[in-house]
């Protein structure tokens, strides 16, 4: 890495300050300005290397990581964005401040100064402009620049004073969040890349984020990230983060091989009663959802049959027998009970076989239920099959690996499927993305998530909330959407998990949840110094 003359001068200043501090008896200024003695443990603090359970989630470039959270958030350790997720909302990051202008049709961002790429080059506003334009032409795995398959960016201009102006085609309430989430990539590397999906060299993972990818082993599902010493932002609390393969996570944790686990309720007590451990319970922003493909099973176009399925499945049983109590029955209106805009008045489907039979009215319904071949999802499939067959619905459960199941859902190659995923705590626009997103192909529009289903009332409300900037008015629309979705049951949320993460605070106590997310290890701020 190159180090500028300014950097050398700063280093000399720091060394001088250290010498002065030592001469003053190892003291430091407290937040109030007084001097206090530095603890011996602070003087001799060892570098922290965090080890977490691994698994392959792809090469952490913006194009080659797997779409699920563990892949996305590893990539985000390397690549920064204009805004970042904090504990209470979005916070300034590569953009130190911003303003909305032209009645919501443009945003002006003032960029941080002195930002370096991990190869030593300086980051400039031109890199930010290039990143947006490149992602418009070549959408990455996490693509936040498109709504209903189309880019919302009108133009991007570089202004004086290290500023950038992003103009949009029309104001939308979620655009600041979407713009702020875009990863910034170095122009001097990516401008030469014609096919980013084949770009897998070491230059593909050069960002300006707090960590550098040092090792990746696809076969073992292992990663090692080391702290980027010239990072512009908060100092890294962990000098390295390793994701390592483990066969038994609990055993590996107790033997000190990894530093955090998700503890099931049957073993949680032993950690809660031991002061050597700390337990943090996640919000219910990860959950299982049941997808209906109405093109493959036309009977599912009948609302009564979908409601019959909802009544027949015992979601409380799923929480008890699969999650072992570490979960909550999902809302039929989709937004989970921990969401700030959850509507508690939506229609509920308490387990009731007789109601299910009445709604079926003697009709023969059968389908294949696709699940992932994990113990949890296989058990979910078995329990659903038993309840639905009790109501008179024939179910064939098929279990496959995660990538096969996810690909089937993405391409519509399934009849009914179950999938677990995160992101349920995000902006309420996720309802539109899950229920009313349309893709136009060959002149016709169809749902991007629910094959064979289209509901004009849901789409009208979904569009209305996207254009409503008054928070209270928008909340009312979101409440209406939840009520309509719960009545229609176009897909069936099953339950949301409320996991308990366990760690040793003496080893590391920097973990935090993002305001809209369920995982401690996914938060970039978990690894950085915070005020």
471-493 residue pLDDT tens: 999 999 999 999 999 999 999 99
Which of the residue ranges 23-27, 40-44, 289-293, 347-351 would you say has the lowest mean pLDDT? Answer: 23-27
Q: Which of 288, 522, 519, 510 is nearest to 416 (CA)?
A: 288
The pLDDT of residue 336 is: 96
Residue 135's SS3 state is: helix
> Is pLDDT of 37 > 50?
no
What is the distance between the alpha carbons of residues 458 and 264, in angstroms, rounded to a whole number?
38
Cα–Cα distance, 510 to 521 (Å, whole number): 10
Tens of pLDDT, residue by residue over 399-417, are 999 999 999 999 999 999 9
Q: Which of 8-12, 166-170, 397-401, 413-417 has the lowest mean pLDDT?
A: 8-12
What pLDDT is attached to residue 438? 61
Indicate the range of 36-50, 143-157, 285-299, 381-395 predicted with least confidence: 36-50
d(CA 312, CA 393): 9
Say if residues 360 and 449 touch (Cβ distance below 8 Å). no
Per-residue confidence at 267, pLDDT binned at 50, 70, 90?
Answer: very high
Chain mean position to CA 510: 19
pLDDT bracket for residue 240 (50, 70, 90): very high
User: Cα 86 vs. chain centroid, distance in angstroms?
Assistant: 13
- Confidence class for position 290, pLDDT limits 50, 70, 90: very high
Tell me, what DSSP letter sits at residue 171? -
DSSP letters along 370-394, please? EEESSHHHHHHHHHHHHHHHHHTEE
The whole-number pLDDT of residue 148 equals 86
The answer to whether residue 12 scores a pLDDT higher than 90 is no
Q: What is the pTM of this model?
A: 0.86
Residue 282 has pLDDT above 60, yes or no: yes
Q: Residue 496 in contact with residue 327, Cβ under 8 Å?
A: yes
CA distance 529 to 513: 14
- CA angle 352/377/500 to nearest 5° reads 95
Residue position matching structure tokens 């570089």: 158
Model pLDDT for residues 443-462, shown as the tens digit of each residue? 444 445 799 999 999 999 99
Instruction: Determine the Cα angle at 246 with ends 381 and 498, to 5°.
Output: 50
Mean pLDDT, the chain, whole residue set: 90
Q: Give residue 47's pLDDT.
A: 86
Helix (H) or strand (E) holding 19: helix 5-23
* Residue 454, H or E segment: none
* pLDDT over 70, % of the chain: 89
Query: What is the per-residue pLDDT for 437?
Result: 67
φ, ψ (nearest 5 deg) of residue 427: -55, 145
Q: What is the pLDDT of residue 149?
A: 86
Question: What is the average per-residue pLDDT within 327-346?
Answer: 97
Phi first, then psi: what are they for 147, rounded to 5°? Answer: -125, 125
Mean pLDDT calculated for residue range 15-42: 32
Mean local confidence (pLDDT), 34-57: 65
In 3D, which of 444, 354, 438, 356 has the Cα closest to residue 393? Answer: 356
């Amino acid at each position: 890495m190159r180090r500028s003359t300014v950097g050398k001068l700063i280093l000399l200043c720091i060394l001088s300050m250290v010498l002065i501090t030592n001469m003053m008896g190892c003291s430091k200024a407290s937040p109030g300005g007084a001097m206090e003695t530095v603890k011996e443990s602070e003087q001799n603090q060892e570098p922290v290397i965090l080890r977490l359970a691994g698994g392959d989630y792809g090469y952490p470039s913006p194009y080659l990581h797997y779409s699920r959270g563990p892949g996305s958030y590893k990539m985000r350790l390397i690549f920064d964005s204009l805004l970042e997720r904090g504990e209470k909302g979005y916070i300034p990051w590569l953009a130190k401040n911003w303003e909305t202008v032209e009645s919501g049709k443009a945003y002006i961002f003032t960029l941080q100064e002195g930002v370096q790429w991990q190869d030593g080059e300086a980051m400039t506003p031109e890199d930010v402009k290039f990143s947006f334009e490149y992602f418009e032409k070549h959408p990455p795995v996490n693509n936040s620049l498109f709504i209903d398959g189309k880019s919302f960016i009108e133009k991007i201009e570089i202004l004086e004073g290290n500023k950038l102006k992003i103009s949009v085609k029309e104001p939308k309430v979620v655009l600041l969040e979407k713009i702020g989430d875009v990863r910034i990539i170095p122009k001097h590397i990516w401008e030469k890349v014609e096919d980013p999906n084949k770009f897998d060299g070491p230059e593909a993972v050069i960002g300006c984020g707090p960590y550098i990818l040092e090792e990746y082993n696809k076969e073992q599902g292992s990663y090692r990230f080391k702290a980027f010493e010239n990072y512009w932002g908060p100092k890294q609390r962990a000098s390295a983060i390793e994701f390592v393969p483990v066969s038994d996570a609990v055993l590996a944790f107790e033997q000190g091989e990894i530093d955090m686990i998700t503890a099931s309720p049957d073993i949680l007590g032993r950690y809660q009663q031991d002061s050597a451990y700390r337990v943090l319970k996640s919000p219910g922003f990860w959950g299982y959802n049941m997808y209906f493909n109405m093109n493959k099973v036309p009977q599912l176009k009948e609302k009564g049959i979908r409601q019959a399925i909802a009544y027949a499945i015992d979601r409380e049983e799923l929480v008890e027998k699969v999650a072992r109590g570490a979960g909550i029955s999902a809302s039929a209106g989709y937004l989970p009970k921990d969401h700030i805009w959850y509507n508690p008045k939506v229609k509920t489907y308490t387990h009731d076989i007789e109601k299910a039979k009445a709604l079926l009215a003697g009709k023969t319904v059968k389908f294949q239920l696709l699940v992932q071949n994990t113990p949890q999802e296989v058990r979910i499939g078995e329990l659903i099959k038993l309840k639905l067959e009790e109501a008179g619905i024939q179910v064939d459960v098929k279990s496959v690996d995660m990538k096969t199941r996810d690909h089937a859902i993405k391409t519509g190659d399934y009849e009914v499927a179950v999938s677990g995923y995160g992101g349920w705590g995000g902006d309420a626009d996720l309802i539109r993305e899950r229920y009313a997103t349309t893709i136009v192909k060959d002149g016709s529009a169809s749902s991007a998530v629910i094959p064979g289903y289209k509901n004009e009332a849901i789409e009208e409300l979904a569009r209305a909330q996207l254009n409503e900037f008054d928070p209270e008015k928008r909340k009312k629309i979101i409440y209406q959407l939840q009520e309509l979705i719960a009545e229609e049951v176009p897909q069936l949320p099953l339950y949301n998990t409320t996991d308990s993460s366990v760690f040793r605070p003496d080893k590391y106590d920097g973990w935090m949840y993002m305001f809209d997310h369920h995982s401690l290890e996914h938060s970039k701020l978990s690894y950085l110094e915070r005020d």
